[in-house]
Amino acid sequence: MANPRFRRQPSRFVRLRHLVQAAFLLAWLGPFGLRLHTFCGPVYHCYACPLATFACPIGVLANFSALGVSPLIALGTLLIAGALVGGFICGWVCPFGFLQDLVAKVPVPKLRLPLQAGYLRYAVLVLLVLVIPYFFGESHPLFICRLCPAGALEAGLPLAVQNAAQGQSFWNSMSTVKWVVLGLFLVAMFVKYRPWCTLFCPLGAMLGLFNRVAVVRLKVDDRMCTSCGACKSACQIGLAPEKQLDDPLCIRCMQCTRCDAIGLTTVFDREKSPNHAARAGADSSR
């Protein structure tokens, strides 16, 4: 039976999301030629990209691990960003996520993997970002930057094009491994929703842990929820929001807020109906 509280049309938040992502893209892509590489951005964007404004926090963590230096700036940035908005970074701010969102709009049947596959992200974080760089240095073939599809797409590909324009070899601009990773990733984007974010992203793995305690978060109103499962069918990640609202895999795409029982709240709100803001937005958009 259809849930009368569940709207067919996306809520105002969902419609805003791509606009916000596009706006943030301008910030990450070096407006006015800014290259503030002495600071980290909270998003997955390779600093070798010709337009990158900030340094990639994962690249910094891995390289600092290889150097044996404590990455306080990167940690501080991630702690603040995570504690403020948690997974909203992935869904609303990250340029690499935005790209995957756009490609996912191509109407191709999407593969759904078990949610447990998301734990792979922690293996990537621990092994490829922290342990291997620390013990074997950045020259190890499993060093995260050597396998990163964001680096291949945002930095390697422009470099290859630049080299080709200058009469040098296009294919020799990146290692074979990176070309293969890039190819696999480009295909995967079409057949799986956010393949990097849901399976491998070490940054998302960290930020997702903050979903439970972030200042801005989602909440289910138990009095309104009828457990109809409509929110689960709306979730592109495959979560059941009524039970897994704070799951580390949640990127806060807000598709589940089509249901009035789920809405935005802050960690400082107490015993209030969660959906004041969301419902107000929905009402005004109806």
Partner 1 sequence: MACGKRGRRTLARGRATVTILLLLAGAACLSYGVAFHSVPVLPKPDTSEEEVPETPPEILPEDEVGFTADELFGPPSEDAPPLLIDLSDGPEPGVEMSEREVLHEVTIGGLERLPSGRLMRTYVLGETPPSFCPT
Q: Which is nearer to partner 1, 3 or 63 (CB)?
A: 63
* CA 2 – CA 278 distance, rounded (Å): 20
* CA 190 – CA 52 distance, rounded (Å): 25
Contact flags string 62-91 toward partner 1, x per CB under 8 A: -xx-xxxxxxxxxxxxxxxxxxx-------
Report if residue 34 touches partner 1, rule: CB under 8 A. no
- β 262-266/216-220 pair status: antiparallel
Rounded to the nearest whole angstrom, what is the least distance from the CB of residue 87 to partner 1 in the complex? 14
Q: Which is nearer to partner 1, 16 or 209 (CB)?
A: 209
The single-letter DSSP state of residue 259 is: B
- The per-residue DSSP string of 195-252 comes to HIIIII-HHHHHHHGGGGT-SEEEEE-TTT----SHHHHH-SS---HHHHTT-TT---
Binding range to partner 1, per CB under 8 A, among 57-65, 103-111, 124-132, 186-194? 57-65
Binding range to partner 1, per CB under 8 A, among 11-19, 91-99, 135-143, 229-237? 135-143
Could you tell me how many residues of this chain bind partner 1 (CB under 8 A)?
Answer: 52
* CA 227 – CA 161 distance, rounded (Å): 52
CB distance 10 to 235 below 8 Å: no
Report if residue 42 touches partner 1, rule: CB under 8 A. no
Rounded to the nearest whole angstrom, what is the least distance from the CB of residue 283 to partner 1 in the complex? 26
Q: Which is nearer to partner 1, 104 or 225 (CB)?
A: 225
* CA 29 – CA 81 distance, rounded (Å): 19
Q: Which is nearer to partner 1, 125 or 282 (CB)?
A: 125
- How does 240-259 read in b/e, with b if 16+ C-beta sit within 10 Å? bbbebbbbbbbbbbbbbbbb
Binding range to partner 1, per CB under 8 A, among 48-56, 101-109, 185-193, 226-234? 48-56
* CA 226 – CA 215 distance, rounded (Å): 27
Report if residue 129 touches partner 1, rule: CB under 8 A. no
Rounded to the nearest whole angstrom, what is the least distance from the CB of residue 28 to partner 1 in the complex? 14
Report if residue 155 touches partner 1, rule: CB under 8 A. yes
Rounded to the nearest whole angstrom, what is the least distance from the CB of residue 285 to partner 1 in the complex? 29
Read off the amino acid at residue 203. L
- What does the binding site for partner 1 look like in residue numbers (CB under 8 A)? 37-40, 47-48, 50, 55, 59-60, 63-64, 66-84, 137-138, 143, 145-146, 151, 155-156, 159, 175, 178, 210, 212-215, 267-271
